[in-house]
Amino acid sequence: MYYLILYSEKFRVSPMQDLSALFEPYTFQSGVHVRNRLVLAPMTTWSSDPDDSVSRAELNYIARRSKGVGLALTAVTYVTPNGKGFHGQFGAERDDRLESLKALAQAVKSGGARAVLQMFHAGHQAPPELVDNDVASASDVPPPGSPLRSESPVSVRALSQEEIQDIVLDFGQTTRRAIEAGFDGVEIHGANGYLIQQFLSGHSNRRTDGWGGSLEKRLRFPLAVIAEVKRVVAAHAQGPFLVGYRFSPEEPHEQGLTMHDALSLVEALKDQDLDYVHVSLSEYAGQPRRGDDLKRSRLEQIAERLGTQTPLIAVGNVWSPEDAVQALQLGASFVALGRALLLDPEWVQKVEAGRSQDIQTTLSINDREALTLPEPLWKLLTNFMVKDRLTGATGPEPSPA
């Protein structure tokens, strides 16, 4: 047997640290109440059933990890058939998915967390074989680092204006299904290089019509999605229902998003009456690649620009309770836990009980059943474990949803 040490050097427990801020309850403007400031981050598990329904393994996985957090974000679902982004991804693109979605909402809520369905369109990140080789985006630009090149038989095409309007409506219809399935909210996934971000980015959006060009025009698609989702919530929700929005602040490639773009987006989001904004970061305290202020973290700058009216969820390399507290101190209202909860599903309960020293910090090759991990996700983790043993690489990085 061997172990993969994921964060033993980073993990720290300070018996004098005040952790009470992590367990303060909160009521969002929509009226949804949560018991603490800890969030289950969305993570792709590649584990749906062959018909793209939520599998029993996924239900067990998320139910266990929802028992301590206040808010649980599902892995991302796709809103329209040509928006599927992963093998083993569950769908919410049509009404016959309702029973599957109901089971997912019930699994999350069974432990007391509020259930939020994350939704997206993959755009040019869709694997061609999952979308009948019809890969579409804001423009005919392949993703950076993608095998989709000009010499490839598969290309990316630009969406028509009619298709864009249809996708906006698809986000609304998936929101309606989330309401009918019993979810407490939806999160619009505008991060991690998927379609909404592709419209926002000057790298991937080369359009010259009303959906592209200036930053103001590139903002039109995400704002249209938000407006449609809110319209559907107003029309169909019988009680409090959350609407959140996730975004990535920067892109590393030429003409990609900068902190200037991100802060402009934040300014626009402030006016949308969202329940929260969720910033997708690889490192919660990381500094910008480029921008006016390279010395302060992205999180600090975003929190400052967002202000206190709209809550901010932060994520990214949060392992210990001290990390989570620091993220709050940098301006976050909530802290999302990804790999920390993957590795120790009882992380929140242990911290709340004053047992931070008992949090699991290693992963054994024999831990799958003990950690309630679906087989496809486990295969990914063990592949990384073998790589770590052979090459000294660092720990696994499950895909964020």
What pLDDT, on the 0 to 100 scale, is given for residue 154?
56
Give me the pLDDT at residue 292, please.
67
Contact 226, 272 (CB under 8 A): yes
Question: Smallest Cα–Cα separation from 29: which of 333, 382, 280?
Answer: 333
**Model confidence over 70-87: pLDDT tens digits?**
999 999 999 999 999 999
Structure-derived torsion over alpha carbons of residues 190, 196, 199, 202, reported in degrees to the nearest 10: 30
Q: pLDDT tier at 394 (50, 70, 90 boundaries)?
A: very low
* Cβ-contact 333, 37 below 8 angstroms: yes
Question: Active site residue: 78, 194, 245, 276, which one?
Answer: 194
CA dist 103 and 89 (Å) reads: 16
Residue among 214, 309, 231, 314 at smallest CA distance from 271: 309
Enter the tokens of residue 70: 């206040």
Task: Round to whole Å and give the CA distance between 142 and 136.
Answer: 9
- The rounded percent of the chain whose pLDDT value lies above 70 is 89
Task: Please state which of the ranges 7-21, 59-73, 327-341 shows the lowest mean pLDDT.
Answer: 7-21
- Give the tens place of pLDDT for each residue, 193-224: 999 999 999 999 999 999 999 999 999 999 99
Element (H, E) at 61: helix 56-65
Known catalytic residue: 78? Answer: no
CA distance linking residue 237 with residue 43, whole number of Å: 26
State yes or no: pLDDT of 123 exceeds 90.
yes
Q: Is 24 helix (H, G, I), strand (E, B) or coil?
A: coil
Give 146 or 277, the one with higher predicted confidence.
277
Using one digit for the tens of pLDDT, what is the confidence trace for 227-278? 999 999 999 999 999 999 999 999 988 788 999 999 999 999 999 999 999 9
pLDDT tier at 395, thresholds 50, 70, 90: very low
Task: Provide the pLDDT confidence category of residue 4 given band limits of 50, 70 and 90.
Answer: very low
**Are the CB atoms for 331 and 302 separated by under 8 Å?**
yes
Domains of the chain: 3-391 (3.20.20.70)
What does the pLDDT read at residue 14? 62
Kindly tell me if the per-residue pLDDT of 299 is higher than 90: yes
For 300-324, what is the mean pLDDT?
96
pLDDT at 10 over 60: no
Given a cut of 60, whether residue 93 has pLDDT beyond it is yes
Place of tokens 């693109």: 93
